[in-house]
Structure 1
Amino acid sequence: MNASLLLLLGCILAAWFANTLSSLLDARRLSPAPPQGLEDIYDPEEYARSQRYARARLRFGALAETWDTLLVAGFLILGGFPLADELARQAAQGLGLAGAWAETATGLVFFAMLGLAHDLAGLPFSLYHTFVLEDRFGFNRTSPATFVLDRLKGWLLAALIGGPLLAVILWLLRVFGPGAWVGCWAIAAAVSLLLAYVAPTWILPLFNKFSPLEDDALRADIEALAQKEGFALSGLFVMDGSRRSAKGNAFFTGLGRRKRIALFDTLLEKMNRDEILGVLAHEVGHWKLGHIRTRILIGILRLGALLWLLSLLLGWNTLFADLGLPASGHAGLALFSLLLAPASLLLGALTNALSRRHEYQADRFAARATGAPLALSSALKKLVRQNLANLTPHPLSVFLFHSHPPLPERLAALDALAENADQP
C-alpha cells in the first residue's frame, strides 16, 4: 500500500470520522424532557416520538455513511479506478474517436459508470429511508411509481445538463492542460447562473406541481407586504409537497423575473394568516438583504478555487502512477473529490455559518416587516412540531452541517425583538 493510497484513504476516513462523531454527540444530547422554556412545542407523547425519530435518523445516517465509506475505500484498495478507466477507454475506442475527443468520451463513460454504480449501491438505503424509516413515523407519501420516476428524471437531467458541461470541461483540460481551469470556471459559472434562472419554470415542475395561491384574501395580504417592502413578487405558488412527504417547508428560488416563493401545501394546512405572512416575509428578507446574491457569488468563487486546486493536482504525476492510472482530467476529478473530503466539510461549515447568520437577519427583517415577531416564532414552532425536528443538536453538528440556527436560539432572538418592540 503506497503513500498516495494511504493519503486518499486518510482523507476518506477523516470525513467519515467527523460525520460519525457528530452523530454520536447528537445522540448523546437527546433527552427525555424538552429544553426548559420549550415545553409548549410538543406534548409529552409527541416529544418522545420526536426523540425516537431523531435517534432512528442518526443511526440510519451513521450506517449509510459507513457503508459509503467502506464502498469507496474497497474500490480504491482493489484497484477499481484503473479498472474503470480501462473499461471506459475500451468503450471510447469502439466509437472510433481520437485525440481530445477520445479522452473526452473516455471521461464521460468513466463518470457514467461510477455514478450509476454508486447510485445503485446506495439504492437499498434510499428505499429503506423512504419506505421504512419515514413511513414508520408517518411522513412518507411517496408512491413506488413516484420514487422510480424521480430516479429516472434525475439520471436524465444529469445526462442532459451535466453530461455536456462535463464534456466541455474534460475537452478543455485535455487540449489546454492545467491552465484551462479559468475557462472551465467561466463556463461552469455561466451554466450555474443559467440553471438558477430557469430552474423554477423548467426543472422544478418536472418533479412537483406548482399552483398559484388560490386564497384571494391571503394573496392580497402577501402582495401588500411585498409592495410595502419594494419587492417585485413575480410568483407565489403552492407546491404539492404532500405528494412525497407530510413535512412542511417554504423556499425562495430563481433569479430576475423568474424568482418565486413556493409554499408547501402541507405548511398551509397547519398555519394561520399571521404565521404564513411571517414565513413569507422571512423569505422576502433573504432577497432584500442580498443573501441570494451573496450565496451565488460565494458559490462561484468557491467553484473557481476548486478548479484551480484541480489544475495543481493534474500535475501530480506520482499520485496517478501510484494508483496505476494514466494522468487525465477525468481521473484527476475523481481523485480530487476524494482528497477534498475533509476540506469540503470545513468549507461547508463556513458556508453554513454564513447561512445561519443570514437566517437571523431574515428573521429580524420579517419581524420588522410584519410587526409581529411572535407570529414568526409560532410558525417556527409549528414547523418543528410538524417535522419532528430535534430541539437539542450538538454544537459540533450545528457547526458542520446546520444551515439554520437551532430553534431555541432563533426563538430567543425573536423574543428579544418582541420585548424591545413593546418597550416605550
Structure 2
Amino acid sequence: MYTTLFWIIIAIVVFDFAFEKVLDYLNFKNMSPTLPKALKGIYNEEKYAKSQEYEKVTSRFGLISSSFSFLLILIILFTGGFGLLDEWVRGITENIYFRTLLFFGVLGIVFDFLSLPFQLYSTFIIEELFGFNKTTAGTFVLDKLKGWGIGAVIGGGIISFILWAWLSTGNWFWLIVFGGLSAFMIFMTMFYSRLIVPLFNKQTPLEDGELKTAIETFAQKTGFQLDNIFVIDGSKRSTKANAYFSGLGPKKR
C-alpha cells in the first residue's frame, strides 16, 4: 500500500518532468534556420542554420534520454528499489556514515552505467556528425574515471557533512548545512580552475600580444578585474568551446 507521501513524491517527479518538457517544446517550436535580422552582417547565416539544426538534434535526443531517466525513476519508486538497496547496505555495515555513502555511491554508479549508452551516442555520434567531437575512447574512459574519483571525494564529503550536521547539531542543522554548503560553493567558484580543471586540461599563460591586450582592454571596459589569462587545451575533446571566465574576487581568470 502506497502512502500519501509516496504519491506526493510521484506527483513532484511527474510535474518536474512535464514542466521541463513543456519548456523544451516551446524552445524547440521557436527554432528557425533563418538568421534574425538583428544578427545579419554579424553572424554567418550558414553557421547559424547549422547551430539551429544541432540544437534540434540534441533537443530530440535529450527528450529520449530524459524520458529514459524519468521512467527509470518511476520504476525504482514503484518497485521499492530504493528500499531494497537500503536493506542491502544495512546488511553490509552498521556504521551510518559508511552505510549512507555506500547507498549513494551504488546509486550513482548504477545510474551512470545505465546512462552510458546515451553518453556514448551523444559524444561519438551526434557530436561527430556535426564535426565537433575530438574525444577519443581513451580520453572518454579517463574522464569517466576521474569524474568518479572527484564525485567520490567531493560528493562523499558533502554527504558526510550533511549527515554529521543532522546527527549532531539538532535545531541548528539547517543553518549549519546552509552555511557550510554556501562556503563550499564560494570556495569552488574561486578555486575550480586551479583545483579541478588541471585534472582534465592543461592551462598555459597566454603570451603577450594583440589577443591578450584586446582581452585585457575589454575586461577593463566592463569593470572585470582580470590578472590571469590562460590558454586551455579544450580542443582535445571538442571544437565547440572557445573562451570562458572563471573565479571570484582576486581569483578571477
How high is the TM-score relative to the length of structure 1? 0.55
What aligned pairs does 1:226-305 form with structure 2 within 5 A after superposition? 232-260=225-253
1:79 paired with 2:72, answer: no
- Amino acid of the structure 2 residue aligned with 1:80: G
Could you tell me how far 1:157 is from its partner in structure 2?
1.0
CA 121–210 in structure 1, closer or farther in 2 if over 3 Å, else same: same
In the other structure, the counterpart of 1:35 is: 36
Could you tell me how far 1:22 is from its partner in structure 2?
2.1
In the other structure, the counterpart of 2:103 is: 110
What aligned pairs does 1:277-356 form with structure 2 within 5 A after superposition? none
- Amino acid of the structure 2 residue aligned with 1:81: F
**Whole-Å Cα distance in 1 between the matches of residues 48 and 192 of structure 2?**
37
Could you tell me how far 1:237 is from its partner in structure 2?
0.9
State the secondary structure of the residue aligned to 1:245: coil
RMSD: 2.3
1:14 paired with 2:15, answer: yes
What aligned pairs does 1:103-252 form with structure 2 within 5 A after superposition? 103-177=96-170, 179-223=172-216, 232-252=225-245
User: Is the 8 Å Cα contact of residues 33 and 50 (structure 2) preserved in structure 1?
Assistant: no
User: Is the 8 Å Cα contact of residues 200 and 258 (structure 1) preserved in structure 2?
Assistant: no
Q: Deviations over 1:361-416 (max 9, x none)?
A: xxxxxxxxxxxxxxxxxxxxxxxxxxxxxxxxxxxxxxxxxxxxxxxxxxxxxxxx
In the other structure, the counterpart of 1:319 is: none
The structure with more radius of gyration: 1
Could you tell me how far 1:258 is from its partner in structure 2?
2.5
Q: Deviations over 1:341-377 (max 9, x none)?
A: xxxxxxxxxxxxxxxxxxxxxxxxxxxxxxxxxxxxx
**Whole-Å Cα distance in 2 between the matches of residues 139 and 67 of structure 1?**
25
State the secondary structure of the residue aligned to 2:245: strand
CA 194–27 in structure 1, closer or farther in 2 if over 3 Å, else same: closer
- Amino acid of the structure 2 residue aligned with 1:61: G
Q: Deviations over 1:164-196 (max 9, x none)?
A: 231122122123445422222222222222222
Could you tell me how far 1:116 is from its partner in structure 2?
1.0
Higher relative contact order, chain-length normalized (CA < 8 Å, sep 6+): 1
Q: Deviations over 1:221-249 (max 9, x none)?
A: 44456567776432111122211111133
The worse-fitting range, judged by mean Cα deviation, of 157-166 and 111-120 is 157-166
CA 219–25 in structure 1, closer or farther in 2 if over 3 Å, else same: closer
**Whole-Å Cα distance in 2 between the matches of residues 234 and 32 of structure 1?**
39
**Whole-Å Cα distance in 1 between the matches of residues 164 and 10 of structure 2?**
29
Q: Deviations over 1:289-313 (max 9, x none)?
A: xxxxxxxxxxxxxxxxxxxxxxxxx
- Amino acid of the structure 2 residue aligned with 1:151: K
Q: Deviations over 1:109-148 (max 9, x none)?
A: 1111111111111111111111111110111111111111
- Amino acid of the structure 2 residue aligned with 1:105: F
**Whole-Å Cα distance in 2 between the matches of residues 251 and 142 of structure 1?**
20
In the other structure, the counterpart of 1:89 is: 90
**Stretches of structure 1 lacking an aligned partner (at least 5 in a row):** 94-101, 261-424
Could you tell me how far 1:17 is from its partner in structure 2?
0.8
User: Is the 8 Å Cα contact of residues 225 and 252 (structure 2) preserved in structure 1?
Assistant: no
**Whole-Å Cα distance in 1 between the matches of residues 225 and 23 of structure 2?**
41
